[in-house]
Structure 1
Amino acid sequence: MLNQVTLIGRLTKDPDLMFTNSGVAYVKLFLAVQRPFKNNEGVNDVDFIPCTIWRKRAENTANYCHKGSLVAVTGRIQIRQFTNKEEEKVFVTEVVGEDLRFLKLESSRRQQEQKQQQTANQTP
């Protein structure tokens, strides 16, 4: 049996690093993934897929990624359930990320901004 998924998309907001009661780091994020085909209006729809990243990868994600960062997540689909306050069963489907790769390092963007600032400072 195989439960594996790979997604490439952009973060919908800045990752917020959290910790479990036992001190394990994690981030919950939504990945905006564009569909590979156009709808009836000629536009590619986007799916917003919930992902959870754990431990050191979560810390790296929180430190180096922000809203709009392009990343690849490889992991497994997990379905969990709980009972809400209204005593209704709620099912949650999410991707548990086992690997997250930065596809565009933000340091290059920062380097470009620094070069622009240096150029602006040199102009008389």
Structure 2
Amino acid sequence: MLNKAILMGRLTRDPELRHTQSNMAVCSFTLAIDRDRKSPSGERQTDFIDCVAWGKQAEFVAQWFTKGMMTIVIGRIQSRQWQDQHGNNRTAIEVHCSEISFGETKKAREANSGHVGEQGSYRPQAASQPQPTAPAFDLPPDNTGYGDVLPCDDNDIPF
């Protein structure tokens, strides 16, 4: 059987880090993912997908990811059942993450920091608290020299 989910969306809130009784880290968060099509009334529709990370990955997410950040998640879909405090049977559908990564570059994160984003969220930078610096995964500059060998002129492209 195949069960693989690949999602890209923005965090709706800061990830919540907890620990199990055996001291295993577990981090839960929700991704807001816009649908490709608008509703018949012309409104954009958004799905809110609950995600869970475990162990070192949970600690990584809790440390480096915050509300509004574009996030890419790869994992499997799982359901769980429980009874609520009123005795009603409940079911939750979650993505249990096997991979989590940043969905935008460090420059894009910094440019969007403290501004109203597409999802309407606002995250001001607190002056009194130093913010940790997320690891940079930007590509290094092109130092191969190949860009100088072949000039790029769009008029020369044969198609």
Name the TM-score, length of structure 1 as normaliser: 0.81
Report the count of equivalent residues: 113
Q: Which amino acid in the other structure matches residue 100 of structure 2?
A: L
Are the structure 2 counterparts of residues 37 and 111 from structure 1 closer, same or farther at C-alpha, using a change threshold of 3 Å? Answer: closer
RMSD (Å) for aligned C-alpha atoms: 2.1
Q: Which amino acid in the other structure matches residue 13 of structure 2?
A: K
Aligned to 2:91: 91
Runs of 4+ aligned residues of structure 1 deviating over 4 Å after TM superposition are 105-113
Higher strand fraction (1 or 2): 1
Deviation at 1:97, TM superposition (A): 1.0
Deviation at 1:110, TM superposition (A): 4.8
Are the structure 2 counterparts of residues 2 and 109 from structure 1 closer, same or farther at C-alpha, using a change threshold of 3 Å? Answer: closer
Name the TM-score, length of structure 2 as normaliser: 0.64
Of the structure 1 ranges 4-13 and 38-47, higher mean CA displacement relative to structure 2 is found in: 38-47
Q: Render the CA deviation track for 1:48-104: whole Å, top value 9, x for unaligned.
A: 111111111111111111000101111111111112222221111111111111122
Q: How does 1:98-113 map to 2 (within 5 A)?
A: 98-106=98-106, 109-110=109-110
Aligned to 1:119: none
Deviation at 1:18, TM superposition (A): 1.2
Aligned mates of 2:105, 2:18 — CA distance in 1? 23
Aligned mates of 1:91, 1:75 — CA distance in 2? 19
- Three-state SS of the structure 1 residue aligned to 2:62 is helix
Deviation at 1:105, TM superposition (A): 4.7
Aligned mates of 2:47, 2:93 — CA distance in 1? 13
Q: Render the CA deviation track for 1:22-73: whole Å, top value 9, x for unaligned.
A: 1111111110011011111223200111111111111111111100010111
Stretches of structure 2 that go unaligned for 5 or more consecutive residues are 114-159
Are the structure 2 counterparts of residues 106 and 23 from structure 1 closer, same or farther at C-alpha, using a change threshold of 3 Å? Answer: farther
Aligned to 1:38: 38
Q: Which structure has the larger Rg over C-alpha atoms?
A: 2
Aligned to 1:7: 7
- Three-state SS of the structure 2 residue aligned to 1:18 is strand
Q: Which amino acid in the other structure matches residue 3 of structure 1?
A: N
> Given the alignment of the two structures, is residue 24 of structure 1 paired with residue 24 of structure 2, yes or no?
yes
Deviation at 1:109, TM superposition (A): 4.3
